[in-house]
Chains A and B, each alone.
Chain A
Amino acid sequence: MSDLKKIRDEFISKLKGNLDLAELNKIKSDLFGKNGLVSSQFKKIGTIDVTERKKFASDLNIIKDELHDLINLKINEIEKANINEKLEKEKIDVTLPERSFVKGKIHPVSQTIDEISSIFSEIGFSVEEGPDVENEYNNFTALNTPDNHPARDMHDTFYLDDKKERLLRTHTSPVQIRTMLKDKPPFKIIAPGRTYRSDSDQTHSPMFHQVEGLHIDKDINMGHLKGCLNYFIKEFFEVKKIKMRFRPSHFPFTEPSAEVDIGYEIKDGKIIIGEGDQWLEILGCGMVHPNVLKNVKVDPTKFQGYAFGIGIDRLAMLKYGINDLRAFFDCDYRWLNHFGFDPLDVPTNYRGLSR
């Protein structure tokens, strides 16, 4: 029996035993280490007779591969067993809570403003703003509400000086004045923002939000006003059909003026917009009064158009089933968390206004 076969048989039988990782590594180095049995045989190749050398080398490689593979297999088996054993021990209770996270929320009024802007954006309105503190002229006089006008009584105004020249705007309509004084017609704007009236009870808050709309061009008539609002209300409430009623009313800065009601009904304690035979007043509007246009140096014989004012808080209440206006500004953590919106829910036309 040749040396090679002897080595092979000896180690094959050795490897059949129940060996641990250290013993296997020992065998590995006994065979393949620098002076290992197999390694020494490779060194012998040069000394062997040419005629036998080829066969010897071939046999040696076969034995080397066989032993080598066997050892690796054994090592792998043990390692795998070790890992499995370790994994078994490492099992953790995955039902334990995750690391804590906090959810921020967007206030329903902000969300509603974004929804409104998104809707009007589609039909070409851009967003304008104005200051919260206004002068008496922009808030009243320029809007055809002179000092002796009883309509002023309906605006319980907060004043900042005894002469009543500076005040907190009672509506967003002064933005109309600012916009028209600043630019030249046509105008097509909405102006959302804070408004103030010294009125405070269950259904009134001294601060609330309005969005103003203004569209002035050469041939804008009441039909356009109706169409615009009809479109807006349908889009806002995300319904296919809406019951809408235009009712004559009076505002000093528009003429003819209208109040707009939408149809609703209460089903299972919830308000359903667009159905039923109850009416709910949601906004005031009309054709911009020629006196207002004159006040802002727009020629009423050449330009005309409509304006409207909508209560944002009220829209939000209707759409999202919020009952109490005062709660909007009470900052109750529980309320904000309940009615707030995820910041990633940006209202857009393609994704839909709300989820």
Chain B
Amino acid sequence: MKITFDWLKDHLKTNLKEKNLLEQLTNIGLEVESVESLSSDNQLFKVAKIIKTEKHPNADRLKVCDVNVGEKELKKVVCGAANASEGLITIYAPPGAIIPKTNTKLEIVKIRGVTSYGMLCSESELNLSDESDGIIELPRKYEKNIGKSYFSKSKSNLIDLSITPNRPDCLGVKGIARDLAASGFGSLIVSKEKQIKLKTKQTLKVKIKKEKGQGCSAFGSCLIKNVKNTESPQWLKDKLISVGQKPISAIVDITNYVMLDINRPLHAYDADKIEKGIFVRNSKSGEEFTALDNKIYKLEKGMCVISDNKGVLGLGGIIGGTRSGTEFDTKNILLESAYFDPRSIRNTAKKLNLDTDAKFRFERGIDPLSIETGLKKASSLIQEICGGEVSKIDIQKTESYKSKIINFDVNSFENIVGFKISEKEIQRILTDLGFIIKKEKNSLKLTVPSWRPDISQQIDIIEELVRISGYDKIKTIDPIKNRSKSTLTQTQRLFHFLQRAIASKGYLETITWSFTDQNYNDHFREAVEEIKIVNPISSELGVLRNSIFSNLIMYMSKNLDRGFKDLSIFEIGPIFTGSNPGEQKTVVCGLSAGKKSRLSWIDKERNIDLFDAKRDVVQTLSEAGYNSDHFFIDSKTPNYYHPGKSGRIFLDHSKDKVAAYFGEIHPNILKKIDIKTENLIGFEIFLENLKLSRKTLKDQKLKFAVSDFQKSERDFAFVVNKDVEAQKLISVISNVNPNLISNIKVFDVYEGENIPDNQKSIAISITIQSSEKTLNDKDLEKINNSIIEAVENKTGAKIRS
């Protein structure tokens, strides 16, 4: 909402300065977004006429214009607008002028070799509208103003307020003045309405059709005959320009002015173009009309339209149509002032994807009692400026407005807000805001002003009171440092532990979006359903991710393109398994590319491999408190991993839920997404699949006991079939005698010479130690034999002699 202090003063009597105003507006919840000085430098912007245009010698789309700016010599200006043509009257900004939109100062510059002295402006560049397509085209009448400043001299800055959606009343200058006055900033001027004589009857018949879902509950109108639509007088033009609006014609300008001043949208029809009468009704499916934005809208069933015998004239409260629009030659006007239901407005505008100023106001709620005020204010202005006779006001209604009553318990204020104000002050504030107060035994009976659709219960009154009293009066009550519940749950603690444990292994934590590119996602989706976003910001971000890999691999690729070769990144966050709330899992996903010890003077360089990832995962889980001796590992992994070079980890042999996957990313995926690296290794840890112990880590620990008896190390080499897994041998050996055998280590795996083709040799070192005695040779021999026997029997291995 754009206002100026000058306009506010139409309604507000005050001696205070603009600086105080800005503060006070913000203090009462009418946030000042920006303050633009349209005035200080805008005298430089001049009305000008293009005398001649030539194509720019070095650029197809540019023109070199000779412009009459009211000086002796024509100015040469380079312009890119398509509509820059000979004879056009527009606005010229000389070098030195500051363009309001970009806040940049114009200089004399060479554009492709041709010197340009200034610029011809579009509406958007002057912050007049969002129209940036072409330069401003001023009406012929401006010819006499060539060389004169376009903007009138005004000392008032343009103040842009961010009005919250609950405050439609403050979409009019008067509403803002009322709030300010209630807060002690000046006093509200009660304007006397000019009384004009309304002699004639409104002869155009208006009817609101009674039907289900009717979006219009009141339609007020008056006929103004024999007007002469003209250019607005300077005061009105200045007013509109001061808040960034473009004057069009007196009738349009007056309706705009009334709307901005008291938030009462009006619509002016050319009465001669209306066939017989007005029907306010629901649209039929497929009906069409051309709106004032020059677009043709095809309507669905049930939209609130204003129509005549021939068809749709306009969408009620949203936009009028071209068929009945007013022009400079319009003679007879029908002025509409209606009440449209916010919900109906919203639905229609949403369906047609239409956003207009009127829609913005009606969907927030217009004062239902302002119908007559608006008609009177506008018609008297029209009569004053355009002449004509104004008819009596006709108001059709399907329901009448009932005022809302709230019983307000005065004590409730302190309960919620924490400080006290006197009942007298409460009454004063509410009266200033327009409430009618009746004092009852324990409460105040309040009649809510018709312009406040946001107020319906006690808490709304409390808000009004604290807002106007000032939030600075709220005390600061220091919090008490006391904790009765632990801050994090066990799962949350595990989340944070895993996050930092992985990072501590050289991975950079990333946070990527929860949605991803469908093409990338497909590589990692397996059989999970694809979850599409109906309205993505771009097709590359069209689905919720089924795996974090899709994003990680995309960003890994970007980093590799930046020239980094060896890096590890990870993310801990959600993946989605369905489109219902809760169908998501928390995953720690890591990805490493390149080599270890690249270009090292001391260590041998090698490609990063799956055992690097396996170490990171196993170490992390082990640090998180899971005993890695109990882990069970096999090679069943999702299809985005290399089938032979990947594995999954279970926390124990029950193989209940997969704790993690690790391995090489499938070579086909690397090929398809064209990622260039020596090797790409990933892992995924599934947070929800990690069992949480009910015992604390402290309680899980066994009694501390160590043996000081002598220990012996023994090495074995077994020859086994290739498909026998090392894990099997280790498990068999540890089961021979868990009390004596520990520290089982595979220290060599060999295939090749001296070993049959389908077999391999696995060399294992173990430690044998008793907690009761020093084992003698005989004891050791016995254990050795048991180990060999068990391994041979259970795995088909042969001890290598």
Contacts and interface: CB of A to CB of B under 8 A. Distances in A.
Interface of A: 96-97, 99-107, 109-110, 114, 117, 120-127, 129, 131-135, 138, 148-151, 153-154, 158-162, 164, 166, 168, 188, 194, 196, 198-200, 206-207, 219, 221-224, 226-228, 230-231, 246-250, 255-259, 287, 289-290, 304, 328-334, 336-337, 340, 343-344, 346
A248 B487 contact: no
B480 A124 contact: yes
Nearest to A160: B579
A246 to B, nearest CB: 4
A331 B569 contact: yes
Interface string B534-559: 11110001001000000110010011
25 contacts: A104-B568, A124-B483, A126-B488, A127-B492, A129-B492, A131-B583, A132-B584, A149-B165, A206-B513, A227-B479, A230-B476, A256-B462, A256-B466, A257-B463, A259-B31, A290-B459, A332-B558, A333-B559, A333-B564, A333-B567, A334-B562, A336-B508, A343-B501, A343-B503, A346-B500
Interface string B479-496: 111111111110010001
A333 B508 contact: yes
Interface string B440-477: 00000000000000000101101100110001101111
Contacts of B104: none
Contacts of B506: 101-104
B502 A104 contact: yes
Given A131-B584, A250-B165, A150 B579 contact: no
Interface stretch (B21-29, B640-648, B652-660): B21-29
Contacts of B477: 221, 223-224, 226-227
Contacts of B432: none
B507 A255 contact: no
A99 B600 contact: yes
Contacts of A110: 499, 509, 511
B467 A248 contact: yes
A126 B490 CA distance: 12
A304 B531 contact: no
A248 B29 contact: yes
B533 interface: yes
A222 to B, nearest CB: 5
A242 to B, nearest CB: 11
A256 B343 contact: no
Contact of B535 (A198, A224, A344): A198
Nearest to B478: A227
Contacts of B513: 206-207, 329
A231 B479 CA distance: 7
A61 B297 CA distance: 126
A221 B462 CA distance: 12
B37 to A, nearest CB: 19
B597 interface: yes
Nearest to B581: A131
B679 to A, nearest CB: 16
Given A100-B597, A148-B363, A289-B459, 16 more contacts: A104-B507, A104-B509, A124-B480, A126-B486, A133-B579, A148-B343, A150-B346, A150-B364, A158-B533, A166-B581, A168-B514, A224-B479, A249-B29, A256-B467, A287-B416, A336-B509
A332 to B, nearest CB: 7
B687 to A, nearest CB: 12
B580 interface: yes
B102 to A, nearest CB: 15
Choose among A150, A199, A258 the residue with the greatest number of B CB atoms under 10 Å from its CB.
A150
Contacts of A337: 508
Contact of B485 (A126, A162, A199, A343): A126
B603 interface: yes
B418 A223 contact: yes
B602 interface: yes
Contacts of B551: 331
Q: Which 9 A-B pairs have the closest CB atoms?
A: A248-B29, A250-B164, A102-B506, A223-B418, A331-B555, A221-B418, A343-B503, A104-B503, A121-B487
A104 B505 contact: yes
Main DSSP-derived SS at the B contact region: loop
Contacts of A304: 415-416
Contacts of A104: 502-509, 568
Which secondary structure dominates where chain A touches chain B? mixed
A70 to B, nearest CB: 40
Interface string B21-47: 000001111010000000000000000
Contacts of A259: 31
Nearest to A120: B487
A221 B481 contact: no
A343 B500 contact: yes
A223 B487 contact: no
B479 A228 contact: yes
Given A107-B511, A223-B475, A248-B28, A117 B488 contact: yes
B87 interface: no
B31 to A, nearest CB: 7
Contacts of A257: 463
Nearest to A289: B459
Contacts of A102: 506, 568
B558 A159 contact: no
Interface of B: 26-29, 31, 164-167, 342-343, 346-347, 363-364, 415-419, 457, 459-460, 462-463, 466-467, 471-472, 474-489, 492, 496, 499-515, 531-537, 541, 544, 551-552, 555, 558-559, 562, 564, 567-569, 573-574, 576, 579-584, 597, 600-603
Contact of A106 (B482, B503, B573): B503
Contacts of A150: 165, 346, 363-364
A246 B463 contact: no
A230 B574 CA distance: 32
A344 B347 CA distance: 54
Contacts of A221: 415-418, 477
Contact of B487 (A126, A149, A206): A126
A194 B486 contact: no
Nearest to B569: A331
A343 B498 CA distance: 11
Contacts of A100: 597, 600, 603
B633 to A, nearest CB: 24
A314 to B, nearest CB: 15
Contact of B559 (A125, A231, A246, A332): A332
A337 B564 CA distance: 12
A97 B601 contact: yes
A198 B515 CA distance: 12
A200 B502 CA distance: 31
A94 to B, nearest CB: 12
Contacts of A105: 503, 508-509
A177 to B, nearest CB: 11
B508 A131 contact: no
Contacts of B165: 149-151, 153-154, 250
Given A126-B488, A247-B27, A346-B500, A226 B476 contact: yes
Given A132-B584, A227-B476, A250-B164, A106 B500 contact: yes
Nearest to B579: A160
- Which of A97, A135, A246, A346: most chain B Cβ within 10 A? A246
B614 to A, nearest CB: 17
B673 to A, nearest CB: 15
A258 B474 CA distance: 12
Contacts of B480: 123-124
B476 A117 contact: no
A349 B218 CA distance: 63
B681 to A, nearest CB: 14
A107 B562 CA distance: 20
Contact of A160 (B167, B459, B533, B559): B533
Nearest to B345: A148
Contacts of A109: 511
B516 to A, nearest CB: 11
Contact of A231 (B342, B478, B552, B580): B478
B775 to A, nearest CB: 37
